[in-house]
Amino acid sequence: MKKPELLIPASSLEVLKTAVIFGADAVYIGGEVFSLRAKSKNFSMDDMREGIAFAHAHGTKVYVTANILAHNGDLEGVEAYFHELKEIGPDALIISDPGVFQIAKEICPEIDVHISTQANNTNYRTYRFWHNLGATRVVSARELSIDELRELRANIPEELEIETFIHGAMCISYSGRCLLSSYFTGRDANQGACTHPCRWKYAIMEETRPGEYLPVYENERGTYIFNSKDLCMIDHIPELVSAGIDSFKIEGRMKTALYVAVVTRTYRQAIDDYMRDPKLYESRMDYYKEEIAKCTYRQFTTGFFFGKPDHDTQIYDSNTYVKAYTYLGLIGESRGDGYYSLEQRNKFSVGDIIEVMKPDGRDMEVRVKGMTDEDGQPMESCPHPKQKIFVDLGVELSSFDLLRKKD
């Protein structure tokens, strides 16, 4: 069996480094343009250069998304952008638009091109089409079943890779090509500006009774009829491997370092355990499920993998996430006196019980013994966002250990 790649999203340089340290084989990121995530932090060219160097130093690949559906006015900017990427040297570009694909092959032919799920890749003829044009990988549409993926693998060249989403948010429109955001707000999802109207609360109106809004009752708050559960395939690694999927892709280029650390570490362990011994993987299933539920999520579903989703895959009574932990920050360098640097992400205080999450799979519950500002002055708490502090947790720590607190 071929061991699949674990491909992790990153919204920022900090999150990229977290993904790498916690076990990603590859990371996908977006620049400040053309990446379908206009609201995420995204990467400046300097950050992208540093991130790629950091990833490569740890044996991890980096793929850059450029998967908008381009208009005429975008093309000149795409050309300039690809000239910059050629100099930086990512491992692949993720593209959906044929015109953008052509520009990439002309300007940076040495960089692999992966075809985005936005291109609606639902059959093996489509895979062959892109392979003939020079693509090295195609990302499958989320609407494919395990059986369809298995058939697809049997009918495409062995060297053409299949990448498939196995975890994260599900879009209610075909392969994410949604018109709701543009219609309601003028912000085009296919240009990276989705406002997620599928998560909003809705009512219905009968055409002869204008202005009379009739809720579709689920509870006292209304209904969220488009709101899908999140995809999770942690307990179906064997089926995914046997289907011939080359890259297991996690959704979430707007997620926090905590989400990325939890999902990366858990899938890393599950994949490694299964490849080592399927019985070991089966024996640890309760652990994987318990761990994966520690990240923010919207209940879980297997999506389209085992047949078309039904009403059980939707969430009708809420648009909120299940959130078990709050992200506090990543450990930096030691000061030499038991204190470690930290740029905090959420407030915590001296005396609090928090958890240290280590990349190797260990979790340690600790009490915050002390806290100082950058000048060494004692503090009782860190109320200011992104405040740079030093903490003493009474244990030896390493760079990139992640701090979190139970909600």
* Confidence at residue 302, expressed as pLDDT on a 0 to 100 scale: 85
Residues of the chain under the 50 pLDDT cut: 39-40, 218-222, 314-317
* Confidence at residue 317, expressed as pLDDT on a 0 to 100 scale: 46
Q: Return the SS3 of 258.
A: helix
* Confidence at residue 215, expressed as pLDDT on a 0 to 100 scale: 58
Nearest Cα neighbor of 53 from 17, 12, 98 is: 17
* Ramachandran region, residue 186 (left: φ > 0; alpha: ψ -120 to 50; beta: rest): left
C-alpha span between 292 and 289 (Å, rounded): 5
* Confidence at residue 169, expressed as pLDDT on a 0 to 100 scale: 78
Q: Return the SS3 of 259.
A: helix
One-letter amino acid at 115 equals I
Nearest Cα neighbor of 361 from 297, 302, 299, 294 is: 294
At 29, phi and psi to the nearest 5? -135, 165
- Contact 407/355 with Cβ under 8 angstroms? no
SS3 content of the chain, % helix, strand, coil (to 5): 30, 25, 45
Handedness of CA 263, 264, 265, 271 (dihedral sign): positive
- Contact 269/110 with Cβ under 8 angstroms? no
Q: What is the DSSP string of 264-301?
A: HHHHHHHHHHHHH-HHHHHHTHHHHHHHHTTS-BS-EE
Handedness of CA 251, 252, 256, 257 (dihedral sign): positive
* Confidence at residue 214, expressed as pLDDT on a 0 to 100 scale: 62
pLDDT digits (tens, 9 = 90+) for 227-241: 567 889 999 999 999
- Contact 106/134 with Cβ under 8 angstroms? no
One-letter amino acid at 340 equals Y
Bridging pattern class, strands 388-392 and 340-343: antiparallel
Burial group, residue 276, by CB count within 10 angstroms (0-12, 13-18, 19+): exposed
Greatest distance between any 2 Cα atoms in the chain: 74
C-alpha span between 379 and 376 (Å, rounded): 9
Q: Specify the DSSP element, H or E, that contains 126.
A: helix 124-133
Q: Which residues contact 367 (CB under 8 A, 6 or more apart)?
A: 351, 352, 353, 354, 393, 394
* Confidence at residue 254, expressed as pLDDT on a 0 to 100 scale: 78
C-alpha span between 371 and 376 (Å, rounded): 9
* Confidence at residue 315, expressed as pLDDT on a 0 to 100 scale: 46
- Contact 9/36 with Cβ under 8 angstroms? no
pLDDT digits (tens, 9 = 90+) for 326-361: 999 999 999 999 999 999 999 999 999 999 999 999
C-alpha span between 68 and 114 (Å, rounded): 14
